[in-house]
């Protein structure tokens, strides 16, 4: 589709065939802000969207600004809708379901953004994509790079754990540890792109990251038989995923495919709650001293914070804050009582549902259609459980020992 | 569908509503055999199969002996068909694709068998499922148990690495380390079921394990627009997966949905090649001293060896043996050049394709439709790469350091 960019903060429109990243006027202030400004929103012609709304079926690719070539080479999307029988029974909410994006190729939701950024690079004849990341975004872009033959340059703080970078190294990315913080790595990655060209894929900085993430909502709409859920619980760190999720529903609404937006719920760790606080106070200036152990959502300066707060209001959403202990309890509840093994950041969304449950049922009834977005797989960090979960003692190799072990 | 059991070895038919495991006559010899006898094949009425063949679309659930309840609770199936653009170009085979079963809920193909065994348990009113396993089968059954609320008892040799058992412990299985070998754990698990009831899910021993695995072939048939591929490369250890894959195609043929079977290729490590040797020599008595590092296919006494050899002949298949070095090279080629990160056992199938490539193209032309079955995800064992893949050195936090790092 034809598209333009609109600044999330000043509303200025930019129409260009070139790759652009931020509103130059608004971004000027960013050195002094906890919530950066100037993020751009990809925007389509309303008539084109309305035409799209007449199709009997749509895919998220129909709603993209770039054609994605060789889709089957990097299978993004079509993730399961899981209806967890036991948890549905336990909480008495038959409309509860998981959108299980943890099974995407690199094991996280970030593949959705990386696929569109790869398409952007290919459309502009670029071979190189650069970004800063300590985890899933870097792995996802590196995975896309391996699939499409793009060169990925990944700046990381030198203190990032080797385990988290290993995956990107395996995909063949050029990983550059920096003697500095994540913010330092972020700045150097932008300097890299300025000097050496290619595409910069920093989250929220490149508007295609949020635009790619919207795909989950369009996919879900078709999976649910052309309906949107009533409520969607999303784990939130920098605000990029939740912005993308809401943007997807907004595009569906503008296409005339839904008359209402779901209530999207921003679930944060109390130990990294900048966006939740900004939503509550109405001021995008909260300083979150991010200490949560759910590393994928541990964020001090939310790159998409302003957009997330604005979109949350637009969809009549709300926020829930949970303790780290509730996140880890939720992670174990998911794996033990539904066979769904996700990383702590994803379990945060579930912990949010649990905490919000009484309010949810009271407000919308027990039959509410409630989606919990599960954003990252648990397998990547098995070592984290080694101290937590103990192995039972061995028994002798005899039937008698078995009988003894299992006597009442 | 109505079903009976047929012994793979003597051909005797067993019609019963009860749970049965092996042909009692043939299984008597097993203490003295390297290739156990007496496995049962689940068999349907031909007329019922023909009726099924008239449906415009089928799912593998149509071809199952038990109804699977609450399918969305444990989302097995619908795994991606990946057409890896770069590897297709490299090998000049446009019909190459991966069936990516590594994204199933517990991260391996074994979820297919575990779902049907869970359905079997529920149909018979049993709450307990017992098995012996050191890896993926145990994790898959434990995952199914968590999803459906079944109690899983898992016997393992005490020497099994903690990392491999952690996943089952997380799902809430009762894990029982045994001071003995895998064969000892296997025998104790059968003793457990005899004493305490419930279902035994030992691979091949319970015919539903092979029957569940056939689902991949029926699913693939529909995904390819109601066609079967020309050739399918399958990684082989105990022969259970390849037996299930071929059984699925046989059922499709008996339903009249395909007139031909694909050539299924048995790919084994040279360091665990019992079935390949049996196929070549025509004698199911090979002793494989299994030393391959691809642990999921390291097997000395192949539980489904006799069935695999018989089915391989029936589908006009062949075998390929690869070195461990070829497996690990293949694993890196997959991750680097397609973004597909699988465990070594799965990479074995790919290594088989690479090794067989010239023969394949010469025999069937470069446009041959060739499927490589990828059976297990790589994330579970990230630690394995820590010695293999080195991290680059950090740079100073300055733009100058970036320019220096990337100068020609």
In angstroms, rounded to a whole number, what is the distance separating the alpha carbons of residues B11 and B7? 5
Task: Give one word for A401, left, alpha or beta, with left for phi > 0 and alpha for psi -120 to 50.
Answer: alpha
Q: Looking at chain A, which residue has its C-alpha nearest residue B377?
A: A379
Torsion B365-B367-B372-B373 (CA) sign: negative
Distance from CA of A262 to the nearest CA of B (A): 22
More confident residue, A142 or B289: A142
Q: Looking at chain B, which residue has its C-alpha nearest residue A332?
A: B170
What are the residues whose beta carbons fall under 8 Å from the beta carbon of A31, sequence distance 6 or more? none
B253-263 residue pLDDT tens: 999 999 999 99
CB pair distance less than 8 Å for A395 and B178: yes
Residue B224 burial class via C-beta count within 10 angstroms: exposed 0-12, middle 13-18, buried 19 and up: middle
CB pair distance less than 8 Å for B170 and A335: yes
In angstroms, rounded to a whole number, what is the distance separating the alpha carbons of residues A238 and A301? 7
Q: Residue A45: what are its φ and ψ, rounded to 5°?
A: -65, 130
- The residue behind tokens 């459309």 is A123
CB B237 within 8 Å of CB B297: yes
The answer, yes or no, to whether residue B205 has pLDDT greater than 90, is yes
User: Among residues 163-192 of chain A, which lie with CB inside 8 Å of chain B?
Assistant: 163, 165-167, 169-172, 174-180, 184, 188, 191-192
Burial profile A324-343: b = 16 or more Cβ within 10 angstroms, e = fewer:
bebbbbbbebbbbbbbbbbb
The per-residue pLDDT for A221 is 98
In sequence order, what E strands does A244-331 have? 263-269, 318-322
What are the residues whose beta carbons fall under 8 Å from the beta carbon of B272, sequence distance 6 or more? B237, B288, B290, B291, B292, B294, B297, B298, B299, B300
The per-residue pLDDT for A355 is 98
The per-residue pLDDT for A32 is 86
Nearest Cα residue to A348 out of A272, A264, A281: A272
Query: Does the CB of A94 have a partner CB in chain B at under 8 Å?
Result: no
From chain B, pick out residues whose CB is under 8 angstroms from the CB of A341.
106, 143, 167, 170-171
In angstroms, rounded to a whole number, what is the distance separating the alpha carbons of residues A234 and B33? 55
CA–CA distances in Å: residue A251 to residues A1, A5, A46, A111: 12, 14, 9, 20
More confident residue, B163 or A206: A206
What are the residues whose beta carbons fall under 8 Å from the beta carbon of B74, sequence distance 6 or more? A339, B105, B111, B115, B118, B143, B144, B147, B148
Mean pLDDT for the stretch of residues B126-143: 95
Query: Does the CB of B405 have a partner CB in chain A at under 8 Å?
Result: yes
The per-residue pLDDT for A294 is 87
User: Among residues 343-402 of chain A, which lie with CB inside 8 Å of chain B?
Assistant: 377-380, 382-383, 385-386, 389, 391-399, 401-402
Cβ-based neighbour number of residue B197 at 10 Å: 12
From chain B, pick out residues whose CB is under 8 angstroms from the CB of A335.
146, 170-172
* Percent of chain B residues past pLDDT 90, beyond the cut: 87
Query: Tokens in use for A99?
Result: 């959108």
DSSP 8-state symbol, A376: B
Cβ-based neighbour number of residue B96 at 10 Å: 26
Mean pLDDT for the stretch of residues B148-176: 92
User: What is this model's ipTM?
Assistant: 0.95
Cβ-based neighbour number of residue A149 at 10 Å: 16
- DSSP letters of B261-299? --EEEEEEETTS-HHHHHHHHS-TT-------S-GGG--
CB nearest to A395's CB, from B172, B179, B339? B179
Query: Does the CB of B148 have a partner CB in chain A at under 8 Å?
Result: yes
B277-286 residue pLDDT tens: 999 999 998 7
Query: Tokens in use for B255?
Result: 């339903």
- The residue behind tokens 């990251």 is A209
CB pair distance less than 8 Å for B83 and A106: no
Q: Residue A397: what are its φ and ψ, rounded to 5°?
A: -85, 75
The HSE-up count of residue A83 (CA atoms within 13 Å, CB side) is 12
Q: Testing the interface with B: which of A114, A136, A339, A406 to mutate, by most B Cβ within 10 A?
A: A339
Task: Give one word for B133, left, alpha or beta, with left for phi > 0 and alpha for psi -120 to 50.
Answer: beta
Query: Tokens in use for B146?
Result: 């968590």
Q: Which residues of chain A have pLDDT under 70?
A: 386
The answer, yes or no, to whether residue B181 has pLDDT greater than 70, is yes
The per-residue pLDDT for A371 is 98
In angstroms, rounded to a whole number, what is the distance separating the alpha carbons of residues B243 and B204? 9
Across the A/B interface, how many CB contacts are shorter than 8 Å? 229
């Amino acid at each position: 589709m034809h598209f333009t960019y609109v600044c999330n903060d000043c509303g200025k429109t930019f129409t260009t065939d070139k790759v652009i990243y931020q509103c130059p006027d608004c971004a000027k202030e960013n050195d002094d802000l906890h919530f950066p400004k100037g993020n751009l929103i990809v925007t389509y012609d309303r008539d084109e969207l309305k035409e799209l709304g007449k199709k009997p079926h749509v895919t998220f690719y129909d709603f993209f600004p770039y054609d994605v070539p060789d889709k089957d080479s990097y299978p993004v999307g079509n993730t399961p809708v899981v209806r967890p029988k036991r948890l549905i029974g336990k909480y008495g909410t038959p409309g509860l379901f998981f959108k299980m994006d943890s099974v995407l190729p690199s094991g996280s939701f970030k593949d959705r953004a990386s696929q569109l950024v790869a398409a952007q690079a290919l459309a502009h004849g670029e071979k190189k994509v650069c970004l800063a990341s300590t985890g899933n975004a870097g792995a996802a872009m590196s995975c896309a790079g391996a699939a499409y033959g793009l060169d990925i340059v990944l700046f990381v703080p030198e203190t990032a754990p080797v385990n988290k970078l290993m995956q990107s190294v395996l995909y063949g990315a050029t990983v550059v540890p920096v003697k500095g913080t994540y913010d330092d790595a972020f700045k150097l990655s932008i300097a890299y792109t300025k000097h050496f060209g290619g595409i910069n894929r920093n989250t929220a900085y490149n508007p295609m990251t949020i635009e790619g993430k919207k795909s989950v909502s369009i996919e879900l709409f078709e999976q649910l038989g052309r309906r949107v859920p009533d409520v969607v619980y999303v784990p939130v760190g920098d605000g990029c995923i939740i912005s993308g999720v809401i943007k997807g529903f907004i595009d569906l609404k503008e296409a005339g495919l839904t008359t209402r937006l779901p209530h999207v719920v921003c679930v944060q760790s109390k130990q990294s709650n900048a966006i939740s606080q900004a939503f509550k106070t109405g001021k995008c200036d909260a300083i979150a001293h991010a200490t949560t152990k759910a590393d994928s959502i541990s964020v001090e300066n939310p790159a998409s914070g302003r957009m997330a707060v604005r979109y949350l209001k637009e969809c009549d959403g709300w926020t829930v804050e949970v303790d780290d202990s509730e996140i880890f309890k939720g992670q174990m509840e998911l794996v033990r009582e539904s066979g769904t093994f996700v990383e702590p950041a994803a379990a945060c969304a579930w912990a949010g549902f649990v905490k919000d449950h009484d309010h949810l049922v009271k407000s919308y009834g027990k039959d509410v259609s409630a989606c919990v977005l599960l954003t990252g797989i648990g397998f990547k960090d098995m070592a984290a459980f080694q101290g937590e979960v103990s192995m039972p003692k061995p028994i002798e190799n005899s039937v008698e020992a078995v009988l003894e072990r299992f006597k009442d």
